């Protein structure tokens, strides 16, 4: 019987597929197939006296579970860390989930260039904080149209002048006749740690970070032989 449990929150969706090879390489695979199971809490390996347990949750909720201490560690996109600025340690760039946080819009509007200083601009996004901060720095007033997904639709139906969203391949922008205006941040996924767990459970957390760091290193070597 494992004496202690260490809990890792994993984000559902596109990051999860890229997370699995890292977990496998680090010897941290869940016992069931996370891509097909409907279970949200899965056991992983036993390491000494410890049982590794996984929570499978929405990317936007990973920080909440880690901040609350329901998970000791988590894997989450840096876009979410930049937007919500949670009180967590982020010691490791996992070099997966690479994308960019971009401003984009309808081609004709983007070609006109940035509106004059002092102008009001309507921006559809789920990154309210980063968007408002960016436009404030440009001397523009932004009206944030908060959406939860399918941002690319907003300029097409006339409710926004721009979107701020993640772009990976650019296919969604292209399919909807939008073009990128600029990149705000280059994004990848990060390992995050609850600060209290980092102290009280360092005996397990430190080796886990080391395993994942080595897995990142090995995956990098595979990509660039
Ligand atoms: C994300 C993002 C874009 C799209 C970009 O959406 O919001 O819509 O991916 O990827 P691409 O550049 O490779 O086309 P996601 O599919 O995660 O769903 P969402 O709209 O619910 O956020």
Q: Which CATH architecture fits 99-186? A: 3-Layer(aba) Sandwich (3.40)
What residue spans define the domains of the chain? 4-97+188-223, 99-186
From the candidate CATH numbers 3.40.50.300, 3.40.640.10, 2.60.120.260, 3.40.190.10, the one assigned to the domain spanning 4-97+188-223: 3.40.190.10
Mean pLDDT of 3-22: 93
pLDDT tens track for 85-94: 999 999 999 9
Distance 73 CA to ligand 1 centre (A): 25
Q: Which residues line ligand 1 (CB under 6 A)?
A: 14, 149-152, 165-172
Mutate which of 12, 79, 168 to test ligand 1's pocket (most atoms within 8 Å of Cβ)?
168
Whether 4-97+188-223 and 99-186 share one fold: the answer is yes
Which atom of ligand 1 is least distant from the CA of 14?
A: 17
Euclidean distance between the first and final Cα of the chain, in Å?
Answer: 41
Question: What pLDDT, on the 0 to 100 scale, is given for residue 212?
Answer: 98
- Write the residue with the smallest CA distance to atom 1 of ligand 1: 166
Report DSSP letters for 38-79, one per residue. --SEEEEEEETTEEEEEEEE-HHHHHHHHHHTS-SEEEEEHH
Distance 175 CA to ligand 1 centre (A): 12
Mean pLDDT of 89-117: 95
pLDDT tens track for 149-195: 999 999 999 999 999 999 999 999 999 999 999 999 999 999 999 99
- Write the residue with the smallest CA distance to atom 21 of ligand 1: 149
Mean of the per-residue pLDDT values of the chain: 95
Place of tokens 């260039």: 113
Burial class (CB in 10 A: 0-12, 13-18, 19+), 70: middle
Using 50, 70 and 90 to split pLDDT, how confident is the model at 2? low
């Amino acid at each position: 019987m494992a004496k202690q449990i260490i809990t890792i929150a994993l984000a559902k969706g596109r990051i999860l597929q890229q997370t699995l090879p890292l977990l496998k390489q680090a010897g941290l695979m869940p016992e069931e197939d996370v891509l097909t199971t409907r279970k949200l809490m899965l056991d992983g390996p036993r390491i000494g006296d410890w049982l590794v347990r996984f929570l499978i949750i929405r990317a936007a909720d990973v920080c909440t579970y880690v901040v609350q201490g329901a998970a000791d560690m988590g894997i989450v996109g840096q876009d979410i860390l930049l937007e919500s600025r949670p009180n967590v340690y982020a010691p490791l760039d996992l070099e997966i989930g690479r994308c960019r946080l971009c401003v984009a819009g309808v081609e004709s509007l983007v070609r006109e260039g940035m509106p004059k200083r002092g102008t009001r601009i309507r921006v559809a996004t789920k990154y309210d904080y980063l968007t408002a901060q960016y436009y404030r720095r440009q001397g523009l007033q932004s009206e944030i149209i908060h959406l939860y997904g399918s941002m690319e639709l907003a300029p097409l139906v006339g409710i926004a002048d721009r979107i701020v969203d993640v772009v990976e391949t650019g296919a969604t922008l292209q399919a909807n006749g939008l073009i990128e205006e600029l990149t705000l941040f280059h994004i990848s996924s990060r390992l995050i740690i609850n600060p209290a767990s980092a102290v009280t459970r360092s005996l397990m957390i430190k080796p886990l970070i080391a395993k994942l760091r080595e897995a990142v290193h090995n995956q990098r070597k595979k990509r660039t032989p």
